[in-house]
Amino acid sequence: MTDYSTPLYLSDPYARDCTGHVVAHTSEGGVVLDQSVFYPTGGGQPGDNGWIDWQGQTVAIATTVKGEGGASVLVPSEPARLPPVGTRIHQRLDWDRRHNHMRMHTALHLLSVVIPLPVTGGQIATGRGRLDFMMPEPPEDRDAVEGALNRLIDLDLVVRDSWISETDLDANPSLVKTMSVRPPRGSGNVRLVAIGDGGDQVDLQPCGGTHVARTGEIGRILLGKIENKGKQNRRVSISLDR
What local confidence, expressed as pLDDT, does residue 187 receive? Answer: 63
Cα torsion through 130, 131, 134, 137, rounded to 10: -40
pLDDT tens digits for range 188-218: 788 899 999 989 999 999 999 999 999 999 9
Q: Do 68 and 53 contact (CB within 8 A), yes or no?
A: no
pLDDT tens digits for range 110-164: 999 999 999 999 999 999 999 999 998 889 899 999 999 999 999 999 999 998 8
Q: What is the mean pLDDT of the chain?
A: 92
In the chain, % of residues over pLDDT 90? 76
pLDDT tens digits for range 82-93: 999 999 999 999
pLDDT at 173 over 90: no
Assign 3-class secondary structure to 33-75. Answer: ECCCCCCCCECCECCCCEEEEECCEEEEEEEEEECHHHCEEEE
Which 3 state secondary structure label does DSSP give 170?
helix
Which 3 state secondary structure label does DSSP give 124?
strand
pLDDT tens digits for range 46-63: 999 999 999 999 999 999
Q: What domains can you pick out in the chain, each with its CATH number? A: 8-93 (2.40.30.130), 98-240 (3.30.980.10)
pLDDT at 185 over 60: no
